[in-house]
Structure 1
């Protein structure tokens, strides 16, 4: 009787152990790829799943978006400038079977191909294009990566250049260039102001030629402005031609009165 009880207990332990080994839980963001004797027999959706111990192997694959930093790469741009560029890529698995069967380690593979693609794409652009056209470069890198990883059951959703490090000599050269550009704009603005002022003065002189009294009024206005400081002596030249004309008129009046 005791032997029978022992056998039953052993069978119960074996059955319980087999049940524990056969139970698998696939999370909501995962899919399970089931191998039976080395062959893929299907995909298991999220939930409680049972497998045959020893015979079956269940690989769980996450479908969440993965954030992968691309470490800084030393790159020579098309105009022979050395820069260090780092980026970040976002990707997710779209086909669980391909992600397990087509490639051994999908995360390591994407990291390596992303580094080489970053060097290749940025190296085809000049420094100015790399600094000003980052959106176009991001799209080019993403499209190239997506074309390679689609066969692995992976979709690259986004690539962004994160940091661009320039040599100190290039930073100083760009600072000098920016300073020269600002000086050029300042000189152009100053020249435009002088041109407008000259045109306005020309118009004012035409008006004064048509109205001689306007020049006298302007002279009086200038005297008023200078007269604010009363502790100085101001020598103000009178218009020569008008003074000569007035003097001639005065002598003519005196001559007529004497006759």
Structure 2
């Protein structure tokens, strides 16, 4: 009786051990690659799965997107500038069977090929292109990686250049270039302003020539602006002084013309002075 109970206890323990070793739980973000006597027989979906102990083995593969930093690489660009560039790659397994069977360590393989591809692609561009056309470089790196990694059951979803380190001498040269570019823009803007100001002054001078009093009004406005600060010095612009002399000459000429046109009293039968043909006392006209 005791022997039967012992055998039953041993059998129960064996069953428990077998059940424990035959149960496999695959999480939602995983797939289970099932090997039976060394051969791949199936890819198990998430949930509770049973295997044959000793005969079957299950390799769990994560299907989530993995972030992999690409360490800084010393690269010589096409215009012979040495730069250090680091990047980051995002990839995920799309075929669990290939990722286990086709390559031994998919993470290490992608890390190595990403480094070499980064050096190759950036080396085909100049420094200005590497700084300005990062989107195109990222797309080229991703395309090259996808061509290789799809055979391993892995898809590269995104590649981004993270940091670009330039030599100090190149930084100073780029700073001088940027300063010269700013100075060029400043000079061009100043020249355009002078051109517009000259055109506006030309139109103003044409208007003043057509209306002489406009210049006098402008001179008076200038005197008013000078008087705002309670300045005791009075400035008379040269055009105003010439205008005063012109006005004085005008009055002098008018006075002389008025004196010349005044009628004179005839004496000794002489003819009167008139604005027209001389009329003699006899009435005849010469």
Question: Shorter-chain TM-score category?
Answer: over 0.9
CA distance in 1, matches of 2:107, 2:254: 110
- The alpha-carbon deviation at position 70 of structure 1 amounts to 1.0
- The alpha-carbon deviation at position 15 of structure 1 amounts to 2.5
What TM-score, normalized to structure 1? 0.93
- Bigger radius of gyration, 1 or 2? 2
Correspondence for 1:188: 188
User: Are the equivalent residues in 1 in contact too, given 2:75–2:83 (CA < 8 A)?
Assistant: yes
Aligned-partner SS, 1:58: strand
Structure 1 stretch displaced more, 176-185 or 244-253: 244-253
- The alpha-carbon deviation at position 74 of structure 1 amounts to 1.3
User: Are the equivalent residues in 1 in contact too, given 2:145–2:156 (CA < 8 A)?
Assistant: yes
Structure 2 counterparts to residues 96-111 of structure 1, below 5 A: 96-111=96-111
What TM-score, normalized to structure 2? 0.85
Correspondence for 2:83: 83
Root-mean-square deviation (CA), in Å?
1.8
- The alpha-carbon deviation at position 152 of structure 1 amounts to 0.2
CA distance in 2, matches of 1:231, 1:237: 16
Correspondence for 2:143: 143
- The alpha-carbon deviation at position 238 of structure 1 amounts to 3.5
Correspondence for 2:267: none
CA distance in 1, matches of 2:130, 2:114: 17
Correspondence for 2:264: none
Aligned length: 259
Aligned-partner SS, 1:218: helix
CA distance in 2, matches of 1:231, 1:201: 28
Q: Which segments of structure 1 move beyond 4 Å, counting only runs of 4 or more?
A: 256-259
CA distance in 2, matches of 1:242, 1:236: 11
Which structure 1 segments of 5+ residues have no match? none
Matched, 1:216 2:216: yes
Relative to 1, partners in 2 of residues 1:227 and 1:4: Cα closer, same or farther, differing over 3 Å?
same
- The alpha-carbon deviation at position 69 of structure 1 amounts to 1.1
Aligned-partner SS, 1:138: helix
- The alpha-carbon deviation at position 221 of structure 1 amounts to 1.0
Correspondence for 1:125: 125
Aligned-partner SS, 1:24: strand
Correspondence for 1:53: 53
- The alpha-carbon deviation at position 258 of structure 1 amounts to 6.0
Query: Higher relative CO (CA 8 A, sep ≥ 6), structure 1 or 2?
Result: 1
